[in-house]
Structure 1
């Protein structure tokens, strides 16, 4: 294992920030996997999961069992780690700009199509090597083009540079109150079905474009657009599987969850040829993929206190009462429900709500009218 400390742009005089990066195996010896946690800095289940995964990786490394390259960033957001207001961590948005830490990553698709023009051939493996070399050049050039950088831009580009040529990009997050679930490009499905089954995902949401270019889509989308541009003219595989894995809710920071989660990620790496050994039989899948455009975001009709009647992870019916909003002044209770059958895979983590405020999400198996463009919850 090799450990590196990458110094980031200093936000101000007398201060410093850095990323810790640990590498297992050797660069170029096989497939590459990239893991990061806490890009939303107040989402900590991924941090403890990577802690336990690294214990397994160190043991495998000592035995010479790592046959690929595995890069781990145990905490991906030192900016967000320092953002506290009134004793509460605020790690989803940068306070200075208001931007979501998991949005606005560079889209290199158009530049990549131009960069490989006239260079592709009929050997798929050679095409992948060429494309990855061009992606490395493009992300380096992008840094130069947007300089001088803010500290947020520098963080985004540093993370992107680490993951740009990976076969597997695993961005570990969590929701407020939720079962295990994941987001992935529809072009990676059903290839990613083994990952979904291995981690026990109860809701696997697919979309080509979810809005505002989150971290995972920065690495899957260039392959999608390249394949679309060239069609069948050249063999171009969907060479990067990039996903956002939601490790239940933000308070689910327990060894009883994190240890088996780490073991499942380790088995996935074995199954995909990055670590020697037998991963054992693939667990039975708990769900099939459903479209992100089929998610119903349920909102509050008025302000008050939300009282849920259905647990996160439950399968619900359209029109079924999921809870109610209590107006403590009048005593009125306003029930709420979803427009679709599906899995209630996310619930609000606080109980005081405002008019139009988010309550919960239900994942249906068919796209809903008007659900296009900005599919994720917040910009």
Structure 2
């Protein structure tokens, strides 16, 4: 953990970057489903992409809290760019560094940290989503290499990524591999046209007997189950801050409108029904952020704590959908048209209850974690 002043300075620099580089293109990203590769590369030059990576490998040598700061400040203007950042920086790059060999770190981590390469993580398949471990993508050892076959779908950054962290079944176990976009047998499928998070490219990819050497294995052969589970927990905590960004921005838009919009000769912020909405929106924002920050501290100590991670994204996502929906109601007709901006935040917020494990899966993880904790400790204190 860094000192408070360092985090404050870092947060100010991210805020300034997001306002300068992201605020003006957020609507274009949504309308045109446009991914701003130039801005992404600027993030690399600014040191934002490799915040959890040591300077030795081209990173900033910071921590998960710095990643969370970036997610919220990007999410404030463009949740879709925040999503692509998270998929690259947390799901792929951080995972690769934490579990990869020294050779993998030297060969691939600097290119991802600098923004030269775009990274992607590949878990979901056409027949396995919530039941991710039922994957059919598989790798078999043949001589001195492994042959990877299968497909992945709904993969963030897939249409443009250069490097993929791919999970595959290897017999009765699982192994993580590095796959490059120029590997023989790799191909991309269609890019999906989504209702929200537009501008964050999502697609499908195929592996047709790709030959991979031992040097492409992340961690140990057949030992990727814990990498998958710890990666999902890290993803849930870090991505939850996208939704606090959505909530904060939606509340501010609604508050500004309520103060300046007059009906019956009074600002609508004077009306009790509007005051009730603003009060609930603010309280949900603050409680969701506190839960996310608590889970962030837990993540730094224990990446296998699914109870903490699932509760953070579960509540933050639900709150962002509620707050952006209420903001539309306060803005009325202006909220319903694209000029009002909050309709985009509502569409983006909906992904929060689907991606990184559905709301239903999160509730299951939370209840299972509570039962386990109570059996072990006799209480629910963590």
Flag the structure with higher helix content: 2
* TM-score (norm: length of structure 1): 0.29
RCO greater where, 1 or 2, for CA within 8 Å and sep 6 or more?
A: 1
